[in-house]
Amino acid sequence: MDTPQLQLYVDAQFISPYAMSAFVVLTEKALPFELRTIDLAARQNHGADYASVSLTRRVPTLSDGGFHLAESTAIAEYLEERFPAPAHRAVYPADVRQRARAREVQAWLRSDLMPIRQERPTEVVFYGEGFAPLSEAARAAAGKLVSAAQSLLGGKQNLFDDWCIADTDLALMLNRLALHGDPLPPELQQYARHQWQRPSVQQWVRQAQALKAATP
């Protein structure tokens, strides 16, 4: 296989959960890549340079030579096929139904639970910032999240026999609540804490924390 020439474009603030997910996939697969930051606050993602590599003008975007791909799940699936196991760590289950379930979880977390995402943005997770108590709508979304997570996990520390990228995504959503001090069942707190200590996740977290510490 040819030597990869990979670049990953992420937000300069290091608070995008989707950029983190793509970063974790590349790191888990032990692929060499260049990290490039895009300042979303300055609307750098709307500039012509970024538009030339990102169809959606969002983060993350992956460049593999002359091929460019946006959207974190598309990136994860592409990298899984482009750099498969056993040469590189698998980030999805081998079993077809488990793999479909992992993708279902990812799609759900990205398209639902909007009140949680609005009222517990990732500044909670990466910067430790506090926000007002959850609204009724957010409490209902949290109840839905808890019920689904308990059904999926059954007390386990991974969704399936081995870790997969959907574990990272689910843990991040749970940590929007857990790291803010919102009520969460102990077994889900333990799961989120366990997943958050994964070295690939902590590499991203440390970058966010360093940026926060350097910001006046």
Tell me the per-residue pLDDT of 70-124, one tens digit each, with 9 for 90 and over. Answer: 999 999 999 999 999 999 999 999 999 999 999 999 999 999 999 999 999 999 9
- 209 pLDDT band (50/70/90 cuts)? confident
Distance, CA of 125 to CA of 48 (rounded, Å):
31
Q: What are the b/e assignments for 113-140, b being 16+ CB within 10 Å?
A: bebbbebbbbbbbbbeeeeeebeeebbe
Tell me the pTM. Answer: 0.94
Give the pLDDT mean for 141-145: 98
Percent of the chain with pLDDT over 70: 98
- The answer to whether 3 and 10 are in contact (CB under 8 A) is no
